[in-house]
Amino acid sequence: MNNPHQNAIAQLNQVALLLRPNYSARSKDFDRVIKRLAEPDRVLKTQLKITMDDGSAKKFMAFRAQHNNARGPYKGGIRFHQSVSEVEVKALSTWMTWKCAVTGIPYGGSKGGIVVNPRELSVAELERLSRAYVRWLATKIGPWIDVPAPDVNTTGQIMAWMVDEYQQTLGKQDLIQENPLATFTGKPLELGGSQGREEATGLGGVFVLKKLTKALKLKPETVTIAVQGFGNVGFWFAKHAVDQGYQVVAVSDSKGGTYVKGGLDPVKVLAHKKKQGSVVDFGKPLTNEELLELEVDLLVPAALENVIHKDNAAKIKARAIMEMGNGPTTPEADEILAKNKVLLIPDVLANSGGVTVSYFEWVQNLQGYYWTHKEVIGKLQPLMEKAFDEMWATKEKHQVDGRMATYITAVQRVVDAMLLRGN
């Protein structure tokens, strides 16, 4: 099994080799900060004990990795999944640092998680677990310290419980100085959330897709897309892509995939999934492996890490990959894809729309002044387009792949902030 943190370190070392000549006057300082960036600033972990509905007690392992805050407070989601681990949150927190630097928002990176399959908990148990997580972390997060958000299997409702628990925990000790709503993003609209946040990751990806389509001189109607993963990100990406005229011919969830020649309607697929529990028999059933190997123009992994690895990378027939999930491609697979001339738009660029609208939500909470949907999207689009243009220009200039082209700019921004601080 691939260790995602080792993957994150391999990517960092690869970009450090490219960047090092730019820092020849300060090579010792450069090497020091790169070494520091290989590990998060701190990793917090604990066992959370909650009472189950039947009166028994159960423990769940929980983590928060705070990777780097040179450019601003730590920022990143909280994941509830049975495969959460220390190395996973470390990797995901590292990727958040680069992601925030890619669109230039003033945050560092963090990530949290609980080892749990939330589908096995009742709503009341899920609430108790979410609250227990925040009671444990309350003094280690805050608008100017570390700002959590949703990630895999966490929702606006979970953020609402968390913000409430945070306010109660610190309120008791008179420790609240800022609007407590600004400690979490991805909240429901009724509780300080931002217009556009729910769809932001998917929509941001489609803004990038439109730029890519133009750069490749293609027409949206001729571009076929397969999306692996049909959670919040996969659904909204597919929906906005179809609204823009692209053909989404396949989608999948953890149970398998479905294929519809000529393109499917993501809204109908979602209704089917809600009724039947899976997308599989919406159209022609496919396995997840078959979906990854479809003959499409664009493959969009929008689920978990390490789905494109050394054993299947050579079988990918798509001409481009947009990583809407975090860390779907291993470094070995990156090499194979580059050799096969498969264009890769990395996670830290493709899915950065989510955290970018999280930033807008935080700004609105701190100002107590709320924007319209049009204003939010109007601010998101130019940031995504600029990030794509910077990546494309670096790619052409240095003749590197999409991941390295994105990392060159992102890592440089973080390194420069650290050097200015004398870190």
* Residue 282 vs 362, nearer CB to ligand GLU: 362
Q: What's the distance, CA 252 to chain centroid?
A: 18
How many residues line the site for ligand GLU (CB under 6 A)? 13
From 135-143, 218-226, 347-355, 385-393, span contacting ligand GLU (CB under 6 A)? 347-355
Name the minimum Å distance from CB 281 to ligand GLU.
Answer: 30
Task: Map the footprint of ligand GLU across residues 307-336, applying CB under 6 A.
Answer: 326
Nearest residue (CB) to ligand GLU, 238 versus 400: 238
Query: Does residue 93 belong to the site contacting ligand GLU (CB under 6 A)?
Result: no
**Rounded-to-integer distance, Cα 170 and Cα 191, Å:** 18
Residue 351: CB minimum distance to ligand GLU, A: 6
Find the binder of ligand GLU among 77, 109, 263, 402 (CB under 6 A).
77
Residue 175, SS3 per DSSP: coil
- For tokens 């444990």, the residue is 136
Kindly list the distances between the CA atom of residue 239 and the CA atoms of 202, 247, 359, 397, in Å, as whole numbers in the listed order: 8, 10, 23, 34
CB-closest chain residue to ligand GLU: 77
In angstroms, give the least distance from the CB of 114 to ligand GLU: 14
Residue 301 interacts with ligand GLU (CB under 6 A)? no
Residues 6 or more apart whose CB falls under 8 angstroms from that of 154 comprise 77, 78, 79, 80, 186
Interface pick for ligand GLU out of 125, 151, 198, 390 (rule CB under 6 A)? 151
Judge contact between 314 and 373, C-beta under 8 A: no
Question: Is 279 in contact with 252 (CB distance < 8 Å)?
Answer: yes
Task: Choose between 149 and 316: whose C-beta lies nearer to ligand GLU.
Answer: 149
Determine, following the binding rule CB under 6 A, whether residue 149 of this chain makes contact with ligand GLU: yes
Closer to ligand GLU by CB, 154 or 247: give it. Answer: 154
Catalytic residue among 75, 111, 210, 273: 111
Residue 270 has a CB neighbour count (10 Å cut-off) of: 18
Q: Is 228 in the site for ligand GLU (CB under 6 A)?
A: no
Select from 40, 72, 76, 231 the one that contacts ligand GLU (CB under 6 A): 76
User: Which listed range, 73-81, 119-127, 155-163, 375-383, lies at the site for ligand GLU (CB under 6 A)?
Assistant: 73-81
Tell me the residue type at 139. Answer: T
Out of 224, 358, 406, 409, point to the residue binding ligand GLU (CB under 6 A): 358
Shortest Å, Cβ 170 to ligand GLU: 20
Nearer to ligand GLU, 151 or 323 (CB): 151
**Any contact of residue 75 with ligand GLU (CB under 6 A)?**
yes
* Helices and strands, number each (H, E), in the chain: 14, 12
Contact call for residue 185 and ligand GLU (CB under 6 A) = yes
Give yes or no for a contact between 268 and 337, defined as CB atoms under 8 angstroms apart. no
3-class DSSP assignment, residue 56: coil
**Measured between alpha carbons, how far is 5 from 95 in angstroms, rounded to an integer?**
10
| Beta carbon of residue 200, minimum distance to ligand GLU (angstroms, whole number) | 8
Q: In this structure, are residues 113 and 80 in contact, taking their beta carbons and an 8 Å threshold?
A: yes
What are the Cα distances from residue 76, in Å, to 72, 80, 265, 284, 362? Answer: 12, 13, 31, 37, 13
Please confirm, yes or no, whether 386 is among the known catalytic residues. Answer: no
For residues 23 and 101, give the distance between their C-alpha atoms in angstroms, rounded to a whole number: 19
User: Quick check: helix, strand or coil at residue 272?
Assistant: helix
Q: Which parts of this chain interact with ligand GLU (CB under 6 A)?
A: 75-77, 99, 149, 151, 185-186, 326, 351, 354-355, 358
List the catalytic residues: 111
